[in-house]
Amino acid sequence: MWVPHSCAVRTRVERSVLISTRGPLAGEYFTDDYLKRRWALKEVTFETSQWMGFLRSLAELERLQRQQALSLLKNPTKTSNELKALHVYLIRTGLHQSSFAIGNFVAHCATLGTMDYANKVFDQMLEPNTFVWKTMIRGFQKNQEPIKTLLFFDRMRAQSIQPDNFTYPFVVRACADLQDLRKGKWVHGQLMKTSLETDIYVATNLIELYVSCGDVRVAHRVFDEMPVRDAVSWTAIMSGYVNQCDSDMKTAQQIFDEMPVRDVVAWNTMIAGYVKSGDMEVARMLFDRAPTKDLLTYNTLLGGYGKYGESEVVLRFFDSMPEKDVVSWNSIIGGFVQNKRVNEAMAFFHRMQIENVRPNMVTLVSVLSACAQVGALDTGRWIHWYIDRNRFSLNAMMGTALVDMYSKCGALESAQRVFDFMTDRDVVTWNAMIMGFSMNGQSKKALDFFYRMQDEEVKPNEGTMIGVLCACTHAGLVDEGRNCFDKMHEEFGITPKLEHYGCMVDLLGRAGLLDEAYEFIQKMPLVPHIGVWGALLNSCKTYGNIELAECATKHLIELDHEDGGYLTTMSNIYANAGRWDDVAKVRVLMKKKKIGKLPGCSSIEINGEIHEFGVEEKIHPRSKEIYEMIDEISKRLRMAGHVASTTEVFFDVEDEEKERALFFHSEKLAIAFGLIATDKGATIRVVKNLRVCVDCHSAIKLISKIFDREIVVRDRCRFHHFKEGFCSCGDYW
């Protein structure tokens, strides 16, 4: 019979497959040239048996191709190009409408993180079944897209396709990721309607949802209603008590004791809980009792020792570990940094280099934070060089750490270069740059960056406004500060917090507007805290306002029963006014409270090593040379006409002894060491834990001119850049 033209010329894909096939019926007889010629002339004829054989061969070919496509779906797809090739193969074989095939294809997309592509494939399906819907939901959640997970869940229900116990765990987890307790409770209600809330996997995810949203009480109720529990569900509820804001280790311990089977995760959770609460003794006891320990067990206890333990204990435990990874090194370095034990942190970082352990981003950010704490600019620059040489990504976290380090070391040009080079900047990066300019006395640049930030449509946050208000405070920009404070709520939707009110009181007080500052406090919608009254007290000291100082001190005594800083300040105010009877009363109160003045401490980095100095200390290996340099500085200052300001030395001694005491302040010892330990002309950088006193400030200005050195001093409040007899603060600090 004649072959119908519509049958002979099928789809282009099928015809190309037929022509390229080598088989009994599709061999030499059905060559491309032959078919073209015969089909064109409509001369192709077959007997019925021949035509049926041809169709059977074609069907068999298609079946084999479908089998091959399904087989390919079982193999892992490694690249997006392989994924697209697989998609083409599914279309050629007609499997693009197969729920089984597309479900597996979506799983490949989830593995490669290309769920947008999966979504487009899904939208081309005419009737996706439950399996495909569930795979899409699971894929979105696996790729940390909880919003799309919930959107697909809602679409699925709108199509009257009922979720099951394999779908709900991912939906509940999405609610937990979004901290959406309202949606989570609604999902919980749907589970109760379908009697799925007692399923072990669903219930465990419900526990984790309520725990993550801070409702441990409801989480425990879900746990109590579970007919069957496994180690994961026990650990989930126990973690809730361990990880809540105020860890309830007593309840967590009770749950731990009741657990029928404790795996290594349960042991690690409890050890971490006691480490978090600072109870290293119990943490160590549990560590010793644990039947099996993994690297996380060791790292958890190590982190605790790094934060709370003595150096010798940390070293012994670290050296006793059977294996270590970069997390081990990060734990100990991070613990030291958080505890402000910078020298030990730096020593471990250097040891890490010696042992050829490659640091990661967490390591470098921790060490940069340590450099920022003590002003270790040389070490910070070396770390920056290490980052560049090893091609670490300068993402927002790393870039911000570098900006913060350079800013807190007083190297603003370097900080700005890093900032300008960054392509990934967030609001924290902008805040670090604004605060850097502010603390270094470049208030105009801080405000310029604030306005540039708005031009680039980066929304300011609470931290931004603290930096801006500090900039106004350090430059005495009262009107600008008032304007920025008013804009916080009106333009940026930021509700001022106590820190912002404290900045405003400091701004007004430093400018001598003490009555306005007090009135501002009286009108505050929040109860003033120590920072607010402390700012007023410090301003009263500057301007000698005893009445307001007494009012501020009265409130400070009510708020804080331990810190003696305000009593020391009040004593100084009375002494400046010559009210020695009141000075004696304050000192009696200080003795009664067992309060002493916080000793001054200054540090300086020389050749990557941090040297610390206390008042009149003589424990440094080069103390003899340092004190000789102090005498030399004293002589040169007198020759330059410097007269010591003894108003802040309130000992019952002669003026000559007071003057001598001033020369052994910690920052002067550090500067003396810098003069003998660095090359001529090198910048000297000092970090002090207290506010620099009037005499030291005046003396260091002259020292910078006499010795032709730039001296950068970072005190508790701000930076002072001394050069050629002048200070960047303009004597307004």
Express each pLDDT in 200-223 by its tens digit: 999 999 999 999 998 999 999 999
pLDDT recorded at residue 84: 83
pLDDT recorded at residue 10: 40
pLDDT recorded at residue 730: 83
Among residues 272, 325, 346, 282, the alpha carbon closest in space to that of 303 is found at 272
Calpha distance 572→580 (Å, rounded): 10
Q: 63-77, 305-319, 473-487, 700-714: which has the minimum mean pLDDT? A: 63-77
In tens, the pLDDT along 339-384 reads 778 778 888 888 998 999 999 999 999 999 999 988 889 989 999 9
Average pLDDT of span 328-349: 85
pLDDT surpassing 70 at residue 316: yes
Share of the chain above pLDDT 90, in %: 57
pLDDT recorded at residue 659: 53
pLDDT surpassing 60 at residue 28: no
Structure token pair of residue 667: 């920052």
- pLDDT category at 597 given cuts 50, 70, 90 is low
pLDDT recorded at residue 648: 57
pLDDT surpassing 70 at residue 55: no
Q: What's 476's DSSP letter?
A: T
pLDDT recorded at residue 33: 52
pLDDT recorded at residue 63: 55
- pLDDT category at 73 given cuts 50, 70, 90 is low
Q: Left if phi > 0, otherwise alpha if psi is -120 to 50, otherwise beta: which for 674?
A: alpha
- pLDDT category at 15 given cuts 50, 70, 90 is very low
Contact 297, 289 (CB under 8 A): no
Higher pLDDT, 112 or 149: 149
Q: 189-193, 341-345, 704-708, 716-720: which has the minimum mean pLDDT? A: 341-345
- pLDDT category at 292 given cuts 50, 70, 90 is very high
pLDDT surpassing 90 at residue 101: no
**pTM for the structure as a whole:** 0.72
pLDDT recorded at residue 71: 62
pLDDT surpassing 60 at residue 608: yes
Bridge partners (DSSP) of residue 610 are 605
Higher pLDDT, 493 or 660: 493
Q: 264-273, 542-551, 571-580: which has the minimum mean pLDDT? A: 571-580
Task: Map residue 407 onto helix, strand or coil.
Answer: helix
Calpha distance 454→321 (Å, rounded): 51
In tens, the pLDDT along 219-252 reads 999 999 999 999 999 999 999 999 887 778 999 9
Angle at 694 between CA 688 and CA 695, to 5 degrees: 95
pLDDT surpassing 70 at residue 655: no
- pLDDT category at 690 given cuts 50, 70, 90 is confident
Calpha distance 532→523 (Å, rounded): 13
pLDDT recorded at residue 225: 92
Calpha distance 531→90 (Å, rounded): 68
- pLDDT category at 413 given cuts 50, 70, 90 is very high
pLDDT recorded at residue 78: 66
- pLDDT category at 572 given cuts 50, 70, 90 is confident
pLDDT surpassing 60 at residue 86: yes
pLDDT recorded at residue 90: 79
Q: How far is CA 424 from CA 120, 140, 290, 394, in A?
A: 29, 25, 44, 8
Contact 629, 672 (CB under 8 A): yes
Among residues 675, 702, 694, the alpha carbon closest in space to that of 733 is found at 694
User: Hey, which of 13-22, 388-397, 707-716 has the most confident mean pLDDT?
Assistant: 707-716
Which residues, 6+ apart, have CB-to-CB distance to 516 below 8 Å?
508
pLDDT surpassing 60 at residue 27: no
Higher pLDDT, 66 or 629: 629
pLDDT recorded at residue 559: 86
CA-based torsion, 551, 554, 559, 561: positive or negative:
positive
- pLDDT category at 7 given cuts 50, 70, 90 is very low
pLDDT recorded at residue 48: 54
Contact 709, 683 (CB under 8 A): yes
pLDDT recorded at residue 372: 92
What does the mean pLDDT of the chain come to? 85
Average pLDDT of span 523-527: 94
Which segments of 299-348 are extended strands (E)? Answer: none
Calpha distance 411→404 (Å, rounded): 10
Q: 40-44, 262-266, 458-462: which has the minimum mean pLDDT? A: 40-44
pLDDT surpassing 90 at residue 266: yes
Q: What's 560's DSSP letter?
A: -
- pLDDT category at 20 given cuts 50, 70, 90 is very low
In tens, the pLDDT along 102-139 reads 888 888 888 888 899 989 989 888 888 888 999 999 99
pLDDT recorded at residue 662: 66
pLDDT recorded at residue 342: 79
In tens, the pLDDT along 459-476 reads 999 999 999 999 999 999
Average pLDDT of span 8-31: 39
pLDDT recorded at residue 56: 56
